[in-house]
Structure 1
């Protein structure tokens, strides 16, 4: 009897990994040891097959969940690293921009904003002063 209980425990633990042939052999051994009728043995085998299939599905679901959790964790780690890299890149870019602006100012080189401002001022002055065109002068 102890042997049957021991096999039942092992069956519960390893049911997901058993093949159909192993289940049939195990059911036949259990039927013989427990002196089950042919009908009871057949029902035992069918029940073990159903339980084995359920165990395989549950194991598969657990594996999928763990894989999903691991991927989420890796994704979070990647997202965190990306945020730090972006911040570092922004900080570095600001540092470089300040240094370049300071160097251009020391050299007396006009920046794009300076040129744009001058162009606006020129357009404003031109609109205030009417400069006759060549056609107006000839006419």
Structure 2
């Protein structure tokens, strides 16, 4: 029974989005219901917390990949590209001003 509950939790998104405190609380409840010894219970809760951390990291990685792919699909300009273009515009504006100043001083 406890293995079924554990597998159900670990395969779902639920465990990934639970806080550590909630995972520990759930683990203690399951330990109590399964009437495990103190060492078995501690091992179960520790394992559940580790599994939760792993699930959370995998979930975040997947979400980040989907978001990145979606943003790339939108074909948006990256802020580094905008900064580069701004620098080029500033350089050209300075060059134009120097050219205008040299033209004005020759007249």
Task: Please give the range of the TM-score, normalised by the shorter of the 2 chains.
Answer: 0.5 to 0.7
1:1-139, aligned counterparts within 5 Å? 1=1, 4=2, 7-12=5-10, 13=12, 14-75=14-75
TM-score (norm 2): 0.60
Q: Structure with the greater relative contact order (CA < 8 A, sep ≥ 6): 1 or 2?
A: 2
1: CA distance, partners of 2:30 / 2:23: 10
**Structure 1 residue 8: Cα displacement:** 2.8
Structure 1 CA distance for aligned equivalents of residues 57 and 8 of structure 2:
18
Unaligned runs of 5+ in 2: 78-107
Q: Deviations over 1:98-135 (max 9, x none)?
A: xxxxxxxxxxxxxxxxxxxxxxxxxxxxxxxxxxxxxx
What stretches of structure 1 move > 6 A for 4+ residues in a row? none
What value does the CA root-mean-square deviation take over the aligned residues? 2.1
> 2-side partners of 1:38 and 1:5: how far apart?
18
Q: Could you tell me the TM-score, scaled by structure 1's length?
A: 0.47
> Aligned residues, how many?
75
Q: In terms of Rg, which structure is larger?
A: 1
C-alpha distance in 2 between matches for 1:38 and 1:65: 40
Other structure's SS at 1:75 match: coil
